[in-house]
Amino acid sequence: MATVRINGQSRTIDGPDDTTLLWAIRDMAGLTGTKYGCGAGLCGACTVHVDGKAVRSCLSTVGEVAGKDVTTIEGLSADGNHPVQVAWREYNVPQCGFCQAGQIMQAAAILQEKPDLTDDEILEGMSGNICRCGCYERIVAAVRHVSTGS
C-alpha cells in the first residue's frame, strides 16, 4: 500500500507497489480521464504529471510515485479552463478525442517548462504523443496559441 497525492488529495492505494499508476488512477481512484493506449509508453494517451513533469502512467508504478504529487486531466483545472484546454476548444482540436487528455497533459507540461515555444520545440515536445486521427496541425496551432498568444 502506498499513499499518493492525486489532484491535491491524498489517497491510499490499496494494492501492490508495482501496480501501474494508470490502473491505480482509473480503477482505484475512479478517475477515468487518463486513457489506456498502448501500455508500453509509446502513444502518450496515459500522460499525467508527477511533480509537474509529464510521465506515462502506464510505465510508472504506485511505489515510484508514493509521496509525490500526481495531476490527471481532471485535476489540471477544476473548471476545465486551463489555457491549454481553452485553446483546445478554440481550435477544435479533437476529432475522436481518445488521445486528447494525454495530448493536453503533455502540452501543459512543456508549456510549464518553457512558456515561449517555437514550432520546432512544440513538435519536439509533443512528438511522443500519437493522434490516430492526425490532428497534429490543430494540436500545434493550439499549443502555439497558448505559447505566443497567436
Which tens digit of pLDDT belongs to each residue from 62-100? 999 999 999 999 999 999 999 999 999 999 999 999 999
Tell me, yes or no, whether 37 and 69 share the same domain: yes
State which of 76, 96, 116 marks the end of a domain.
76
Distance (Å) of CA 119 to CA 123, 135, 137: 6, 15, 11
Tell me, yes or no, whether 70 and 122 share the same domain: no
117-125, long-range: CB within 8 Å, 24+ apart, which pairs?
117/143, 117/144, 117/147, 117/148, 119/144, 122/147
Report the number of distinct structural domains present in the chain: 2
Query: What are the phi and psi torsion angles at 122 (to 5°)?
Result: -65, -50
Tell me, yes or no, whether 94 and 72 share the same domain: no
Tell me, yes or no, whether 8 and 71 share the same domain: yes
Tell me, yes or no, whether 65 and 114 share the same domain: no
Range of the domain at 7: 2-76
What is the pTM (predicted TM-score) of this model? 0.95
State which of 76, 98, 117 marks the end of a domain.
76
Tell me, yes or no, whether 8 and 69 share the same domain: yes
Tell me, yes or no, whether 58 and 40 share the same domain: yes
Q: Positive or negative, the Cα torsion across 135, 121, 145, 57?
A: positive
Tell me, yes or no, whether 69 and 116 share the same domain: no
What grid cell was written down for 54? Answer: 509529464
pLDDT tens track, the chain, 150 positions: 889 999 999 999 888 999 999 999 999 999 999 999 999 999 999 999 999 999 999 999 999 999 999 999 999 999 999 999 999 999 999 999 999 999 999 999 999 999 999 999 999 999 999 999 999 999 999 999 999 976
Tell me, yes or no, whether 39 and 102 share the same domain: no
Other Cβ atoms less than 10 A from the Cβ of 147: the count is 21
Tell me, yes or no, whether 106 and 142 share the same domain: yes
State which of 56, 76, 96 marks the end of a domain.
76
**What ranges make up the beta strands (E) of 7-71?**
9-13, 47-50, 53-56, 69-71
